[in-house]
Amino acid sequence: MKKTLRNWVLPLAAILLLASCGEKKEVEKATILNAAKDSVYGQITDFNLDLTKEYDVGEVLRFKVTPYADFFLKTVTVNGEAATQEDNGFYSYALKAGQNRVMATYDIDPSVDVVSEFKLNIPDDVFQKAMETPTGASDDFYDFRKDGIEQANMNGFLNYVDGDTTHVETLNYGYTVKLRYLGIDTPESTSEIEEWGKSASLYNQSLWKNAKKVILESQGWAFAADYTVGSAEWEAIDKRATADGNQRSLAYIWYATKDNPEKADFRCLNLEMVYAGFSQGIGSLATMGKSFYLAFDKANLSAQANLRGQFSGKKDPNYYYGKPKDLTLKELYLSGGIQSTYVDQKTLYRINGYVTRKIAGAFYFQDQASYKRGADNALPVAYGMYVFTYAQTDIQPGDYVSVIGALSVYGGSLQMQGISYNTINPDPNRDTMILESGNTIVPIEMTAAEFNTSKAYDNVLVAITDDLYCYADETFTEGGIEEINRYNEHYPFYNSSNKLIFFAHAGSKTGKSLRVIEDENILCSYRTEISRSYKFFTGGTNYYNPKGAQYVVEGKVLTPETATTDEEKEIASSLIVTVYKPKIIHFTGISQYYVSTSGKTTTYQLVIANSGDIQIKGVYEA
């Protein structure tokens, strides 16, 4: 039996061996990929082989590498291995099996002034029109929101927020624009405080302060710079201003230090912030367009090569590296209030207090949970503070907290900013901490007369005991997502936030008014009325069209009664008409010192941070 099996196995093995020897062995091939064909730093050309074909392993590939202006060649590799440089300017490499990736890297020429060589690239006629001095509101002048280009009013309102955000007034139509700079992201210096954030903010301010003329340019105009003026691609680009999720207008800022500058005199402020080493990153090729992306990337590489700003390896001179200094609210206010020497926006202080109200991540805190009146019923002494942060925390009203942050002044009122909060292993020398919870917060009760004349607190919770009557015809009563933004009637749009500002009086309109602000996160209701307009408090008829404000205001307030043409009547038929009754109200809120943006108005205002702090007692006939 064994012999029979052996006789079968040997012939079978021989047959299989012969069959395998007869198979044709497949030869491995090599392909070529130019992995740097889309590089903005240089190009790889003059290949001796066709990149679309296969080749035998070992065949020699030759090619040239040419850096673009302002760049030096750093490395030339294939499959991560250095290619051989030949005397004739070519590079060579013996192909290996599979895909052969050809790559080149580049270094910036550190001596190049990227900011000076980058020019404002808009048509001459657009520049001339943008530089015209307005004599009054007219369609002949550019409107930044509508046209994507306009001058800033250098004699108007300017608010320097941080290194990449500035609030300005437009020259032609005089409305406020919250500018978020395109192409850059500087370290934080407000809600949070990071190294080089304050330095970036100060550098941004210095550029604005040296400017004589400033042009705001939209992202659309930047994209258009890559195309021939008047071409189909150029015409198709939407050049209107766009906004981010926080309703800040996105813009490139061009400034000139001459009184009568030519187009070539303008420098890109955004780019200069990158060049100085203050940006943590730039946009992408897809979001910026080729010419802007290349310029910003050059500036970023130049900052690194020249060790500028945050790339210097040095400590930031405007960042506080020490431990926080302990301070009480009483010590802070007695040292001079808003003129306090503590307010340098750099030094970190630790202040304890009781949280009274919270708005999103921000909150108010004060030195006691409740207060008692003194002799002769005198109002108590109380001190409070606003803590500005976007961060979401576990902090709630009633918590006794230890807050660590920098001190600043905003709108005439003291505040803390740059706080840090961690629930796991908090750092007692940096993180804001909850020391205890569950305290009952009792507002200081006072009459409207006491609020206006006897004692007004800064960032302290108070309750006005009078019946307060709200009036519509005050200096500047406005707000609500169903109300048109009054800063720009030429190009109307509905408010993006539900923040309401109105005025109230105890009894009649005689005497000093009380300025009231309802936070944008609050919605109040009374019967069928909802506070989407300041008229919820003051009374009045509101005409709202969800299609947009341009359907409501076209040189006049369009209502079903004022519509005359068929087009106007059709628009008016879509209006949502709400008739509000003026309210009698009791308010509890944060008493806060207020200075207008112009600096001309100073008063105390009541900030309503909780819908439960509004008690509607009824309505009245205006």
* Sequence spans of domains, the chain: 29-108, 114-311, 325-441, 445-619
pLDDT tens per residue across span 363-372: 999 999 999 9
Q: At 461, which helix (H) or strand (E)?
A: strand 460-464
Nearest to 379, CA basis, from 441, 467, 439, 453: 453
CA dist 395 to 130, 153, 322, 612, Å? 49, 41, 25, 19
pLDDT tens per residue across span 472-524: 766 678 899 998 876 666 667 788 889 999 999 887 777 677 889 999 989 99
The CATH label, of 2.40.160.20, 2.40.50.840, 3.20.20.140, 2.40.50.140, for the domain at 325-441 is: 2.40.50.140
The CATH label, of 2.40.50.90, 3.40.50.150, 3.60.21.10, 3.90.850.10, for the domain at 114-311 is: 2.40.50.90
- Span 37-53, average pLDDT: 93
Q: Is 600 exposed, middle or buried (0-12, 13-18, 19+ CB in 10 A)?
A: exposed
**How many C-beta atoms surround the C-beta of residue 603 within 10 A?**
16
Residue 139 vs residue 564, higher pLDDT: 564
Instruction: Give the number of C-alpha atoms closer than 13 A to the C-alpha of residue 586, restricted to the C-beta side.
Output: 11
What was the pLDDT predicted at 410?
83
CA dist 301 to 14, 108, 207, 274, 590, Å? 68, 6, 21, 9, 48
CA dist 384 to 400, 455, 456, 563, 576, Å? 13, 14, 12, 51, 42
Q: How far apart are the first and last CA of the chain?
A: 119
Amino acid at 535: K
Identical fold at 114-311 and 325-441? yes
What was the pLDDT predicted at 472?
75
User: Across the chain, what does the average pLDDT equal?
Assistant: 88
CA dist 456 to 210, 453, 518, Å? 39, 8, 19
Model confidence at 14: pLDDT above 70: no
As a dihedral over the C-alpha atoms of residue 173, residue 177, residue 479, residue 607, rounded to 10 degrees, the angle is: -130
- Span 370-391, average pLDDT: 93
81 CB-near residues (< 8 Å, 6+ apart): 93
pLDDT tens per residue across span 454-473: 567 899 999 999 999 988 76
Tokens for 85, please give them: 């440089």
Model confidence at 8: pLDDT above 50: no
pLDDT tens per residue across span 276-330: 999 988 888 888 999 999 999 999 999 999 999 999 999 999 999 999 999 999 9
pLDDT tens per residue across span 70-104: 899 999 999 999 999 999 999 999 999 999 999 99
The total number of residues shown for the chain amounts to 622
Q: By the 8 A CB rule, do 218 and 251 touch?
A: yes
Q: How large a percentage of the chain has pLDDT more than 90?
A: 63
- Span 47-54, average pLDDT: 96
Task: Provide the sign of the torsion angle of the four alpha carbons 165, 166, 171, 174, taken in this order.
Answer: positive
Nearest to 129, CA basis, from 111, 142, 139: 142
The owner of tokens 């367009």 is 289
What was the pLDDT predicted at 24?
53
Gap between the Cα atoms of 459 and 590, Å rounded: 5
Tokens for 322, please give them: 């020490």
